[in-house]
Structures are given as structure tokens and as C-alpha cells.
Structure 1
Amino acid sequence: MHLKLLYCTVLSLIYGLALGSPAISDSSALADLLESSDKFNDHSVVQAFVEELKAISHSSRNISKCDQCVARLAVGKSLALLRPDLVPPVFTQWCTETQYMSNSTCLSTFSRNTVKSSYTGTNFADMLTLMDPFGYDGQLYCCYKESACSKPKTPDVSLSHKWPAKQTKHKVAPVPSANDTFNVLHLSDFHIELDYTIGAEANCSASMCCTPHSKNTFANLTSHSHKDWNSYYDSHYEGNSLVKGSLIDVFKNDSIWSPATTFGHYECDAPEILINSSLDSIANFSSTNNIDFEFAIFTGDAVDHDELSLTSYEVTVNSEEAVFRDIKNKLGDVPVYSVLGNHDTFPYGELGQENHGFSNYFAWNAELMADLWEDYGWLGSDESQYARKHYTGFSVETSMGLKVISLNSNVWYKKNHYAYWNASQPDTFGQLDFLIDELVESESKDQRVWIIAHIPFSADALPLPAKLFAEVIERFSPYTIANIFFGHTHLDQFEILYSGPGGDAKTIENVVASSWISQAVTPWVENNPSWRYYSVDKKTFSIMNAYNYYTKLNETFTNNGSAPVWEFEYSSREGYNVTWPESAPLNATYWHKVASMVNESVEYNQVYENYAKRFSPYVPDCASTDDCALDYCYLTSFTVDQYDSCVENVKNNK
């Protein structure tokens, strides 16, 4: 019998004995059915495997949800090795008939097709063909993708053999120059909503509101609380000037409770006019204050949060092209160094390893981005070529000598199916190898480095990549790595890395590094749109201050269609009132002092929350709710394991 059929038979025997399942115990018949599937119609094969999956949960023996999940993966792998094209109908039918998830979630989870020209199957089927259901792969998947298993212990692996020993001089950060600085703009998380619809429902039950698909969450509402809101159809920017459109009666439709207004809503992603308003405010600020930006960084997520059934390859491409076009139009000749976010791919969140035959699924995106970035003059031909071939990652040396390393964080994203096979190995994507090689080279030349990515490692990352990234950061900080930048959370945040076992000793002596997590332009969810720029030391490329600007979105609801007012919010050096030398950069030690105050004082915790959400109407009250209880854990955790450990301690000490 063929090896793959033997695998199917063995798995069936194992789970037939373990579960006492009549359907699975007849493994020879199942294998024969697969082997001669050309003699049967596919419907028979699908029905047989659906019954296999049902039998797992309906076994006469009482087995855990975790074991059930692992068993389904094993049966699914036996099918994927032979007929990957049948994995989607089998798992989707099982999922919907057993109501394991909602119908739409079943479809988006198991029947999501890749962008491809010749191969059959889905990302889920691809994962099954390579993963080990019985080992760390299966436990990890069943923990993060189906919440069926406890988090498995993170493998004890290291990358320390890939770099030379740390010399004494590399343990100290270089000293900044005396007030000689330049400026860098930081943008993140635009999430353009191309089908944003003026007057559509913003108080909706779908995953994204303010679109033609929105429906009122509360069908029994009969009166409107926002009669003073006004919306103008077809308002747009011409150059730097707003052209006001026609006033429309958004309440003509009685079913609308909370209408989408011209410049956006707190429960919705950004209409293009809001993105252009943010970019226009930057251009006006730069011109009015005679402040130039040496370059800009964009830390990802151009595409909206629409539910998966409403996204497509075309929407993804159009959204990415629109965002980068708007950035180029407004910022002119300012170089922009970008990363892709979890939404900036199709299907959502997926990225396959190049060295296992999956790169052709996702090459379109790398090629599109590399072409755009090169055409706009943001990357040279060499950097563009590397980005085209390596998950859109690249390194570039700025005109002032700083190296910027761009990483694609989907390689460590917990919703990326391709990250769940061979998951105990340290670097299946090769991206950490790339990062280490670049850092070793820069260290040998005494060159400072910025690292940009989208997803922070304590938020939505898998544990092992987070642990290894922290190991890399600790090795090359503070001498070579000057700063690290993320987006993704939509909040104005930071994170601190501490040395020692697990990074649990959160003392000033153990501070290693910190990262900047940028606020978003999209108001989703319940934030005011915002952007920032940094004052950067010319000698060391350390950040001396950060200046944050925002607009009060709710004021645009009743301003008769006028443009949003973008205003100064706070500076990072002065905003927290920390005693700190003027000549010292805002390094990890500074942020440790801020985090300590947040932990020790409800007042400072409130200040942090005010800045995190940019004084939106939805800022939590830290004095009267538990909504702020985990802030300190987030700010002082750099990895998944560190954050989970901190949260557990908080719960145990309540």
C-alpha cells in the first residue's frame, strides 16, 4: 500500500482504538475508498470523512476537547495527503452540520481558497499536509486556532550559535550628540474602507460597520439619538483643499440608528477622505512649522477589517494601491519604508514558506509592493529585489547612515496556518536568519539599526518566534539596535524587554530594550485618529522625543461638513512628567520609569489610557473599572510567555 494510504490506515486504527468509533475502526475500508476514489464519486469520500469527524466528538468514550481536536487534525491529514481538494468540503460540512462554529466562520476557516493558478486546496489543507498532529504542531494549533488545548510548553531552543560573542563595548549604548536632531514620521494602520457608505449603519452586528452590508444591532430601537449629526455626500480633497459635497438626510431611512458620517465613525474603518485628511494635516504641519521629515515609516495594515466573506484579492490589491498612492501624493519626495500587516495579504493573515512550494501563492503581493515602493522612489533596485523575493522584507541604508530592517510579521502571526507546521523549529521562514545576518553586519561596522514590523510579539504572536526574537534583541541591544517599531494594536503603547530568566525581574537594572507601538489613523475601535513624528539624534539615531497629533472624530459629526481639526496631543518626554535628563534619549530605562508609575498610580494609569485611545469618548475610567488592570502586564512584557505569566499572576493575586 502507498505510504500515504498507510498513514491514513494507521491513523484510523489509532483513533478507532482510542475512541471506540465504529466509523474509524473500519480503516481498511476507508483506505480502500481513498485508493480507488476515482471509481467513486467524490460525494462518497466526503460523506465518509464527515462521518469520521463526527464520530470523534460522538465517541462512546469521554475524551477531552483537546484530544478531539488533535484527532480531527490526524484524520484531516490522512485526507490532505491524498485529496487536498476534498479537505474544504469535508471540514466545512462537518463544521456546519455539528454547529462547531457559525456557518460563516466554518466557510472562512475551512473553505478559504488561496490565490493560485494550479493547486487545489486551502491554507488549512496545506497546513495539514505538513504538520505533525500528535506533537507540538497539533497542540499549538488546537490551542490558538480552536481554543481546545492548553498552551503547550514553548520549546527550549536558541539561536545563539548564529552570532559572535558580545564584546564589552556592545553592552553600552552610544552617547547622543548635543541637540543635533532630525525628524521621522510614523504612520500606521490606515485600514481604508473602500466601500464606506455615508448614512449606512454604524451600530451594526457585522464585523465591520458603515458599509452597504451593515445592519442595525438593536432592531427594537425606534428613535434616533443623533438627529444633530450631519453628513455630506461626495466630499473630497483637491490638493490640500476640502471640497464639501451635498448634505444628505441620513435619517431618511428609519432603520438607521447611528449613521456613518463624512469622516468616519468610532465603530468603523477609515473612509479614504479621513486618510487624506490625516496626510493633509501632516503636509500642512510640515509646511507651516518648517519641519521636514528625513523619511517616514509605515507599520502596516492598509486593508480594512471587513468580515472574511466580504474581502477578496481585488479588494486587497485596490486597498494597498490606494493607501500607498495617497501617501505618495501627500508626502511627495519623503522616502517611506513600509511593512505589511496581517490584513495586507489575501487570504487574510496567511503567508507560506518559500522553501516548501507555497511562495507562488503569495508572490503577487511581494511583487506588487516591491514595484510600488521602487516606482515611488522609496527603495532602490537592490532593496526592491530582495523585498520581491523574501516576504516583502528588506533592509535599506538611509542617506544619514542608519539601517532600517523591515520584517513581515505574518511569519509569527498566530492566525497564519503556515506557522503551525514544524512549529518547534526556530525559523522555518528564514526571517530571523535574515535579521541576524543584518545585525551582525551592522555591529561589525558600528552601524545603528531600526527594526520595523507590524505585530508586536506579545500581541497575537506565537510563543516560540517571540522568545527567539527577544533573544536576538537582547544580544544586539543597546549598541546596535537603536529602536524597534510596531503597529497592529491601534493603541499608543510601548513594550519593555527585561533580561534574566523569562524576563520576570522587572527592575531598572534588568532593562534591555523597548519598542514603540504606534497609534492608528483608523478610528476602529473607539479611538481618535492619530499620527506621530520623532525627533532623532543624528549621531546615534536614538529618539529624543515623540510628538503626537490627533483629531477629535466626534467633533466632525456636527461641524457642518468642515474638515477635521488635527491638533497637538502630547509629547512623550513631557506627557508623563518623568524626571529625565534633557540630553538622554527616550530609551528603555525611560519607559521602565513610565511603566512603574502606571503600575503604582491609578492617576498615571489613567494618563496612559488617555494617550492610548487619544482622549476618545471611550477611554476607560481606571478608578472605577477593571479595564486598566492588565496595562502594566502589556507594557512590561515582550513575549507571549511573559505576558501570559504576568496575566496569570494578576489573576492569582486578586
Structure 2
Amino acid sequence: MHGIQLVALCGLLSTALGSAEVSLPGSKAYTAPAGFPTSAFASYHLSPAKPTAEPQPALYDAVLNITYPTNLTNPHTIPDNDEDPVFFPPALANLSETQTQVLLKGLVAQVSEIIEGNNINGNCSKCIAILNIAQPAAVLVPEALPEVMVTLCKKYRFHNNKTCEEDFETSTFGSVWVQVLRYADIGGWDGRQICNSLSSSFCPRPYTLPTNITGLFPGPKPCNATAPKASGKRVKVLHMSDFHLDPRFAVGSEANCTSGLCCRANNDNTALPVGQILSPATPYGNYKCDSPYDLGLAALQAVGPLTGTSKSNPLGWTVYTGDLVSHDSQNELSRLYVEYAEDSVYGMFKTYITGPIFTALGNHDTNPEAIDSPHKLPGPLGQQQSWNYDHVAGLWQNNGWVSEAQSEEARLHYGGYSIKNTYGLRVITFNTDFWYRSNFLTFINTTQPDNSGIFSWMIDELQAAEDAGERVWIVGHVLSGWDGSNPLPNPTDLFYQIIDRYSPHVVANVFFGHTHEDQVMIYYANNGTNQSAGSALNTGWIGPSVTPLTNLNSGFRLYEVDTGDFNIYEAWTFTSPVDSYANLTSTGPTYSLEYSTRDTYGPAASWPIDSPLNATFWHRVTEAMEKNRTLVSLFNTYQGKSSVQSPTCTSDACAAAKICYMRSGSVALGQSCPQGFGSVQSMFTGKNF
């Protein structure tokens, strides 16, 4: 960030805060002690006393009744082939090997003719024609199809050879794509979504089909639908997200690798001679790396002092908005590796975070990555990820965060559950992979926005909460809107209708993660057609990540919540500067207060000191941003958790885009915004006015 811009931002912050000190929930800063906290785990494969290597805990998993093997996470023995079971649709014919080869040879010839010929005009038409040709093979010889996909991918240089294998081999995503080909409506909306997913140059991204709400809800919204009154009693609630533990982190390896996940012994900077390191990975992490144990535990050790909580004065509760597992390429992942991360991170949470933790699964918390199958797929295909739901449900129950009944509910609802906590708030967590664009199984029946049944269950829970006079928080992972780049359009439109129907009297707040950035979205009445302070209904809080990936600082957030209306009255965000880690010798990382939401934005929004930080507040903030571009720049700085790597947002185009994203709680709204300014993890690509 340039010096003049930094001075301007500091001046704005000083004006917002005035001469008064920011009210703090605990200490203003916490510095982790040097050295690894050995009490974090009962035993180790590799002692943490060695400063040049990441410790390797010997984890015992009480749900699986196993101790994880050391070669699973050894940074020098990273596997390159996933041997987990794969699932194919049943073959509807028993072809001989000769017949199979004839069929596949004809398929390759037809695909080549379409790609190389001129009989079909336009990439979109060609792509759909190829899918139509491939679908019979998915019906007749499903297990033989991934090899053909890899061959064609390499032949036409759709990707480089390595990526073709990672994307389409049987052991990675090949069997998943075969399921999609078998059951998708290739000639309809599904085919266009598939082709757009493969490349935006093939088919344009499908637009949102308006949700038919006739008969969707058990009853109409009450005429007197207003939020309950505050009680005046406050409780502290932690929001943590995207831990992304990397137990394969290699201290001293290349932190500025050419591609993929850095700080790995098997990932170099190809511009350098073999064996030469440009930027050595520090024990606490780097900007292009996921969280080593030392960083994750430093963050967890900071929670108590910074939030002013302890075992004798615990947090009310915590929401964790998903993603525990590191960003490995698919061939390096496995069920066992996912289960290891789940057991390890939840175990650390249990040790360092007081109070119950209500968690949603992230797209990285499964294998293959982001893949979750709707139960309505036939036979075992509808239960492909039941191993994972069984595992996390067992861990949550063992940690005392859910009951046996809620554990069973999570097994049934893809890891989602509904629970009423001791303060009387109902928390509903749900699996957002069913609207995530990288869950390829969502390309089956895309015109049905609730193919998994998850929203039907959510409506039932919200209706029961309305009937009982309960307040609800909804917790997911992949955000529903912002710039519209992450989810599918139709499910997020349905979700928007659900939020509209049950806000503001039932749903108090919505929480997501996924982007690793500090963001917020506003949900309005009438599908966001009239965006005003009066029509603002609810807020989607996107939590900052613990992982620095990519080019971000590490952080987490604390809310002050009223136990009567369960609105948020203050939000403090704490961060740690990753660029300082290379110089740490006598201490660990420092986490400190980055900003208070009320003190930073409240004065600009002319917001009363006793009013909640609700959707109306955030809309007023966006109105203030329209008049004061420097306020947008400040929001942009905080979006990256004050990372020195973040691009600045000083143009009118960037400011307009950020305001538009904040007002967009669905894909339909987000896609209507100017694109190219959504993330601060790299330079903006949007066009300036």
C-alpha cells in the first residue's frame, strides 16, 4: 500500500474512533511464546523440539479406533495416488473388451470430428454435442470412460498433461464426471452448466431461473414479522473459519513455488536451479501456504487472551464456517487424510476454545474435494460421502458439541444439523457443497434448486422455529452471493427466498467462510429488487481465515451478542501479520485487534450506539461508502486482513463494485455487479471507468 493512501486510511480510522479508546473484550494483543506447545497432543511421531521440522502428532481417532500412520503426513512421503474406493453408475450392458474398444474408438473419432470440423458452429454447440456423444458410453461402459477423457484432454491440450490426469483420471474426478454424464440432462440446462464449468469460453454461464415459491412454505409470513427486543444481556461468540491445517508443511522448503500449494518438499520454484530455495518456509507459515501446526496453535492460544475468555469465563459458543483440510492436489488427498485433519483440528478446538462449537462442513472437508452426492442418486452413489458424515458426527458428539440425536441428524443431512443452545438460540448448519460450482454432481438436475433436499429440511426447521418463537442463526461455508463467482444460481435464489420469508423475526444472522477474506453481504426484501435501509432484512457475515492462503494475513472474529434478540452488537476482528514471521526468533506470531466494526463504520453510518449491527446498519454503511470512497478503501484493506499483499481499491469502478457485492446475497445479484474486484488475493482484473 502506498504511503499517501495509508495515511488517508489511518486518518479516516482516527476520525471514526475520535479521541475515545476502542472498547476491547480482552487484551489488545497476544504474542505466542516461542516453541511448540507440547501439551497440545498426548504423543508425537516426531518431537516438536526439532526447530527445522513441523511436529508430527501421533493422533488417536476414537471414532475410527485407529492411530494415524506417520507416512500419511510425513512431508517427504506425500502420496501421489488416491487409492480410495471410486463409484461408477452400473453398466447397462455387458460388452466384451473388443466391443468396448470399438465403442470408445468410435467415440474418440466422433469427438475429434466435432472439434476439428466445421459442421457445428460455436463452442457451446460443439461442447453439448460432445457430451451427447459421450453419454451413451457413460451408460454402457462407465468404467472405461475416464481413460478416454484423459486422452482427449491431452490430445487437444485442454490442460497440461498433469492437470488432465488430476482432473479426469478414475482415482481423482473421472468417476464423478461419468456419474454426471450418466444422469445429467445433457440437452438442457445441465449441459450448458457442465460446458460453462469446463470453460467459460464454451458456454455462457446459465442465468438464474426464478424460484417458484407457490407451496414452498407451510404458511405465509406473519404480518407482524419483527425481531424480538434485546434483553441487554450480552455474550461473547467466536467466529473462526478456514483453518486449512497443513500437517505436510515442510519448514525451509520453497514458500514461493511456481504453482499449487507452497511450503511443500515436493513443490519447487521451477524458475530456479533444482535444489535452490528463493523464499524458505518459516515455521509459522507464508503467504502462499496453508497453516502449519505452529500457526494454527498460535491462533488458538490467542483466542482466550484477546476475547477475555477462559475456562472459568467461557465463550457463549463458537461458529466454525468450514474447511479444515489443506489445499493439496486431488491425487495427494484421501479419506484418511481428511479424517486426520478433522480429528486433529477439532481436537485442538476442544483443547483451546471454551464453550460448544457449531460447525459446517467446507468444500475441502471431503474426498474427492468438494464432491457431495445427493441421496436421490441410485444405490451406493447416493451414499458416497456417508463415511465422512459418520466421522464428523461422531467427533462432534464425542466432543460434547451435539447430542446423539443431533449426531444422527448430521449423518442424514450431509453433515448439517439443527440445535438449540443453552441460551435459547437455534443454530442450523448446512452443507453448501450442494450449491458450490466445483461439486460437479450439482450439475445433475440443475433446474431443481433443491436436488439434495437440504432446503426442504431447512424450511421445516425454520417453520418449527417460527411456531416456537425461536431465533435462528444459519451457518454454512460457501457464501451465497458477493460477486456470484462461487455458487450456482438457482439454489442461492431459493436460499434468498428462504431468508426473505423468515427474516427478520426468525433468522437473526447468517454466517459463511470459504473466501478466506473479511466480507459481508446484505439480504433484502423482495429478492433485492429495492435495496434500501428499509428493505434490508438480514446479514451474511463472511469470516476471515486462519490460513494465509493466498496473500492474506491470519485472523478470526469475536461477536458481542444479545441473548434476547441474538443480534450482533459489536464485532472485533483480530489478525496476525504474516510478513513478520520470517523475523521471529524469540517469540511466536502476534495476534492483535485489527478493528472494531462499530467504532470503524458506526460514525460514518450515523448509527446509534445501542442499535445492533444488522442489515440496516450495513446498508447505511454502503450509503456512506457511496459518498466517501476512502471508506471503501478501508473496507478493502480489512478484506485482506490488512495484508501488505492486497491491491488497493481507489478507483470509482472498484468502489462501485465493492458496494454492489455487499448488497448481493445471491448469484443473480452478484453477477449483475461489475466483475474483477471481488477478491484481494491478487491484482484486480476489473475495468476502471
The normalised TM-score by structure 1 is 0.85
Quote the Cα distance in structure 2 between the aligned partners of 1:433 and 1:355: 14
1:551 aligns with 2:573: no
Change (3 A) 1:287 1:504: closer
Could you say which residue in structure 2 is the equivalent of 1:320?
342
Q: Letter of the 2:457 partner, please give it.
A: F
Could you say which residue in structure 1 is the equivalent of 2:288?
267
1:450 aligns with 2:484: no
Residue pair 1:504, 1:642 contacting (<8 A) in 2 also: no
Could you say which residue in structure 2 is the equivalent of 1:149?
203
Quote the Cα distance in structure 1 between the aligned partners of 2:171 and 2:611: 51
Q: Letter of the 1:340 partner, please give it.
A: L
Change (3 A) 1:557 1:39: closer
Quote the Cα distance in structure 2 between the aligned partners of 1:353 and 1:68: 29
1:528 aligns with 2:553: yes
Q: CA deviation at 1:431?
A: 0.4
Question: Which is worse superposed, 105-114 or 538-547?
Answer: 105-114
Could you say which residue in structure 1 is the equivalent of 2:523?
497
SS in 2 for 1:560: coil
Quote the Cα distance in structure 1 between the aligned partners of 2:149 and 2:438: 18
Quote the Cα distance in structure 2 between the aligned partners of 1:505 and 1:48: 54
Could you say which residue in structure 2 is the equivalent of 1:212?
265
Could you say which residue in structure 1 is the equivalent of 2:11?
none
Quote the Cα distance in structure 1 between the aligned partners of 2:275 and 2:139: 54
Residue pair 1:114, 1:361 contacting (<8 A) in 2 also: no
Cα deviation digits, residues 390-444 of structure 1 (max 9, x gap): 2001000101111000000001111111111111013110000011000100001
SS in 2 for 1:168: coil
1:344 aligns with 2:384: no
Quote the Cα distance in structure 2 between the aligned partners of 1:55 and 1:450: 54
Q: Letter of the 2:367 partner, please give it.
A: F
Q: Equivalences for 1:537-576 in 2 at 5 Å?
A: 537-576=562-601
Q: Letter of the 2:567 partner, please give it.
A: S
Quote the Cα distance in structure 2 between the aligned partners of 1:316 and 1:629: 40
Q: Letter of the 1:548 partner, please give it.
A: T
Change (3 A) 1:130 1:275: same
Q: Letter of the 1:426 partner, please give it.
A: P
Aligned-pair identity (%): 31
Change (3 A) 1:97 1:652: closer
1:167 aligns with 2:225: no
SS in 2 for 1:37: coil
Picking from 297, 306, 321, the partner of 1:276 is 297
Residue pair 2:190, 2:446 contacting (<8 A) in 1 also: yes
Q: Letter of the 2:299 partner, please give it.
A: S
Q: Higher helix fraction: Structure 1 or Structure 2?
A: 1
Q: Letter of the 2:447 partner, please give it.
A: S
Q: CA deviation at 1:108?
A: 2.5
Quote the Cα distance in structure 2 between the aligned partners of 1:352 and 1:649: 31
Q: CA deviation at 1:598?
A: 2.8
Change (3 A) 1:625 1:108: farther
Residue pair 2:131, 2:181 contacting (<8 A) in 1 also: yes
Question: Which is worse superposed, 622-631 or 424-433?
Answer: 622-631
Q: Letter of the 1:572 partner, please give it.
A: T
Could you say which residue in structure 2 is the equivalent of 1:72?
130
Q: Letter of the 1:40 partner, please give it.
A: T
SS in 1 for 2:559: strand
Could you say which residue in structure 1 is the equivalent of 2:188?
135
Could you say which residue in structure 2 is the equivalent of 1:486?
512
1:86 aligns with 2:144: yes
Could you say which residue in structure 2 is the equivalent of 1:592?
619
Quote the Cα distance in structure 2 between the aligned partners of 1:255 and 1:133: 49
Quote the Cα distance in structure 2 between the aligned partners of 1:629 and 1:212: 43
Could you say which residue in structure 2 is the equivalent of 1:193?
246
Change (3 A) 1:509 1:43: same
Q: What are structure 2's unaligned runs of at least 5 residues?
A: 1-91, 678-685
Could you say which residue in structure 1 is the equivalent of 2:12?
none
Cα deviation digits, residues 137-182 of structure 1 (max 9, x gap): 1112212333211122322332341320111121x2222123x111
Could you say which residue in structure 2 is the equivalent of 1:29?
none
Residue pair 2:325, 2:365 contacting (<8 A) in 1 also: yes
Picking from 420, 437, 458, the partner of 2:460 is 437
SS in 1 for 2:594: strand
Q: Letter of the 1:275 partner, please give it.
A: G
Could you say which residue in structure 2 is the equivalent of 1:40?
98
Q: CA deviation at 1:518?
A: 0.4
Picking from 313, 317, 320, the partner of 1:298 is 320
Could you say which residue in structure 2 is the equivalent of 1:462?
488
Residue pair 2:103, 2:137 contacting (<8 A) in 1 also: no
SS in 1 for 2:96: helix
1:615 aligns with 2:638: no
Quote the Cα distance in structure 2 between the aligned partners of 1:497 and 1:382: 32
Q: CA deviation at 1:625?
A: 9.6
Residue pair 2:93, 2:141 contacting (<8 A) in 1 also: no
Residue pair 1:267, 1:523 contacting (<8 A) in 2 also: yes
Quote the Cα distance in structure 2 between the aligned partners of 1:51 and 1:309: 29
Q: CA deviation at 1:219?
A: 2.8
Alignment root-mean-square deviation, CA:
2.3
Quote the Cα distance in structure 2 between the aligned partners of 1:39 and 1:648: 50
Could you say which residue in structure 1 is the equivalent of 2:55?
none
Q: CA deviation at 1:377?
A: 0.5
Residue pair 1:597, 1:605 contacting (<8 A) in 2 also: no
Could you say which residue in structure 2 is the equivalent of 1:6?
none
Q: CA deviation at 1:361?
A: 1.3
Q: CA deviation at 1:561?
A: 4.8
Cα deviation digits, residues 437-486 of structure 1 (max 9, x gap): 00100001110000000011124100000100000000100000001000
Could you say which residue in structure 1 is the equivalent of 2:387?
364
Residue pair 1:299, 1:338 contacting (<8 A) in 2 also: yes
Q: Equivalences for 1:116-135 in 2 at 5 Å?
A: 122-135=175-188
Cα deviation digits, residues 294-351 of structure 1 (max 9, x gap): 111110000111222322222222122211111112125x211111111111001111
Residue pair 2:243, 2:323 contacting (<8 A) in 1 also: yes
Cα deviation digits, residues 167-224 of structure 1 (max 9, x gap): 1121x2222123x11111111001111111111111111211010122115338xxxx
Residue pair 1:145, 1:415 contacting (<8 A) in 2 also: no
SS in 2 for 1:202: coil
Residue pair 1:176, 1:540 contacting (<8 A) in 2 also: yes
Q: Letter of the 2:600 partner, please give it.
A: G
Q: Letter of the 1:366 partner, please give it.
A: Y
Quote the Cα distance in structure 2 between the aligned partners of 1:267 and 1:652: 26
Residue pair 1:158, 1:426 contacting (<8 A) in 2 also: no
Could you say which residue in structure 2 is the equivalent of 1:223?
none
Change (3 A) 1:562 1:349: same
Could you say which residue in structure 2 is the equivalent of 1:642?
669
Quote the Cα distance in structure 1 between the aligned partners of 2:589 and 2:438: 35
Quote the Cα distance in structure 2 between the aligned partners of 1:176 and 1:288: 23
Residue pair 2:424, 2:470 contacting (<8 A) in 1 also: yes
Picking from 374, 378, 390, the partner of 2:413 is 390
SS in 1 for 2:319: strand
Quote the Cα distance in structure 2 between the aligned partners of 1:104 and 1:323: 31
Residue pair 1:202, 1:268 contacting (<8 A) in 2 also: yes
Quote the Cα distance in structure 1 between the aligned partners of 2:430 and 2:275: 48
Q: CA deviation at 1:571?
A: 1.2
Change (3 A) 1:168 1:53: same
Q: CA deviation at 1:47?
A: 2.8
Cα deviation digits, residues 511-564 of structure 1 (max 9, x gap): 122111000000011111111111110111111111111112222211215111
